[in-house]
Amino acid sequence: MARGSREFIIRGVTYLAGEVGIRQFLDVGTGLPTASNTHEVAQRVAPDSRIVYVDNDPLVLTHARALLTSTPEGATDYIDADLRDPDAILREAAPTLDLNKPVALMLMGILGHVKSDDEVRSIIGRLMDALPSGSYLAQSDGTNTSPEMVAAQDQYNEGAPLPYCVRSPERIASFYEGLEMIPPGVVRVTDWRPEIGPHEIKHAECFGGVGRKP
């Protein structure tokens, strides 16, 4: 799942920076720095890309320096903030991102941490409302698409300080209401535009997609 969803991030960011021409990314729920972080992928395609990372985990904050290695033409910043406080995210992102120009909002593997569908819709709505037409939402999350995945997640959640809710693909797709889905829509991440590459992982219990604000 980790590798399949990372490959989806790489293909999604490559698509947005390349084919679409997006130059600004707001990556909420960044996670620990790893291989092919959002700014590395985007700036490989377009060195002038500007990326703001957001997470509320102190451990991610400790390692954030590894995310602040921008090209000279572009910019990266890290904000220690909570997804549930979109106003703070937008306020603190504003010095780095021009919120009058299209932004790709990335919510990768984070919405499962918000149990209520209504709250997810409200958070996405508040963030997307603040972004102009031509902005994008790119998202992925673990799904309840196999009994093994559901059992593993239940077991994890018993002792987890931060439980994660695996949803059905249909529930995830409903979060894109009001956005134009980019083909192939909300699908298993391993089936999303494999031709862009990389595409080593062929199956993961994780669905995602990319939608455009009209």
Ligand X SMILES: C[S@@+](CC[C@H](N)C(=O)[O-])C[C@H]1O[C@@H](n2cnc3c(N)ncnc32)[C@H](O)[C@@H]1O
**Which residues, 6 or more positions from 94, have their beta carbon under 8 angstroms from its beta carbon?**
none
Task: Tell me if 137 contacts ligand X by CB under 6 A.
Answer: no
Residues 111-130 that bind ligand X (CB under 6 A): 113
Of the residues 7, 40, 55, 205, which one makes contact with ligand X according to CB under 6 A: 55
The least distance separating ligand X from the CB of residue 42, rounded to whole angstroms, comes to: 14
Residues 95-114 that bind ligand X (CB under 6 A): 108-110, 113
Q: What are phi and psi of 84, to 5 degrees?
A: -75, 0
Residues 65-94 that bind ligand X (CB under 6 A): 82-84
Q: Which residue has the tokens 């919120």?
A: 99
The least distance separating ligand X from the CB of residue 31, rounded to whole angstroms, comes to: 3
CB 115 within 8 A of CB 121: no
Q: Dihedral (C-alpha) 126, 127, 132, 134: value to the nearest 10 degrees?
A: -120
The least distance separating ligand X from the CB of residue 214, rounded to whole angstroms, comes to: 26
The least distance separating ligand X from the CB of residue 82, rounded to whole angstroms, comes to: 4
Task: Tell me if 199 contacts ligand X by CB under 6 A.
Answer: no
Question: Beta strands of 47-101 (E only): which ranges?
Answer: 50-55, 75-80
Of the residues 60, 75, 124, 206, which one makes contact with ligand X according to CB under 6 A: 60
50-58, 95-103, 187-195, 200-208 -> range binding ligand X (CB under 6 A): 50-58
Helix or strand (DSSP H, E) at 25: strand 24-28
Give the span between the Cα atoms of 30 and 38, in whole angstroms. Answer: 9
The least distance separating ligand X from the CB of residue 207, rounded to whole angstroms, comes to: 13
Here the tokens at position 149 are 């995945």
**Which residues, 6 or more positions from 154, have their beta carbon under 8 angstroms from its beta carbon?**
none
Quick one: 67 or 75, whose CB is closer to ligand X?
Answer: 67
Q: Which residue(s) pair with 209 in the sheet? A: 139
For residue 48, give the amino acid letter. D
The least distance separating ligand X from the CB of residue 133, rounded to whole angstroms, comes to: 25
Quick one: 102 or 208, whose CB is closer to ligand X?
Answer: 208
Residues in contact with ligand X by CB under 6 A are: 5-6, 29-31, 55-57, 60, 82-84, 108-110, 113
